[in-house]
Amino acid sequence: MRNKNTGNFIEKYVKSFLNACSGIKYIVKYERNVIIMLLASVIVCFLGFYYNINIYEWLFVILSIGLVIGSELINSAIEATIDLITLDKNPLAKIAKDTAAGATLVFSVVSFVGALIIFCPKIF
């Protein structure tokens, strides 16, 4: 892991950017749900172009994709932190992991419902 606090002004920001990219690369490689999220994102974007959705619908789609994938990144960070602290079965660790996963589920369901609202009238 690169230390983002060494180097000049530009180097520090480049290192921070590369560290963030490493986090994204990690979840794509190791978190199986992210592949489903990315596939759904590609499908929704294709449908958006195909059905020529308006700018407000695009804003919802883009925001939803960002929130779902962003919440999965946070969920993975919380799970890794809990595992770093303890691998023992602990009810508080379970609550932390489950509620973080629940946040991703909530964003996913809301995004799915929003996609239904946008695309069902266009498809049917």
Residues 82-94 have pLDDT tens digits of: 999 988 999 999 9
Measured CA to CA, the distance from residue 3 to residue 92 in angstroms comes to 31
Residue 2 clears pLDDT 70, i.e. is over it: no
For residues 19 and 78, membership in a common domain is answered with no
CB atoms within 10 A of CB 5: 8
> Which pLDDT score, from 0 to 100, does residue 6 have?
72
| Domain, as residue range, for 70 | 32-123
The total of structural domains in the chain comes to 2
pTM for the whole structure: 0.86
* Contact residues for 113 (Cβ-Cβ < 8 A; gap 6+): none
Q: What average pLDDT does the segment 94-114 reach?
A: 97
Residue 17 and residue 37 share a domain: no
Tens-digit pLDDT profile for residues 25-69: 999 999 999 999 999 999 999 999 999 999 999 999 999 999 999
Compute the distance between CA of residue 67 and CA of residue 70 in angstroms, rounded to an integer.
5
Same domain, yes or no, for 58 and 104? Answer: yes
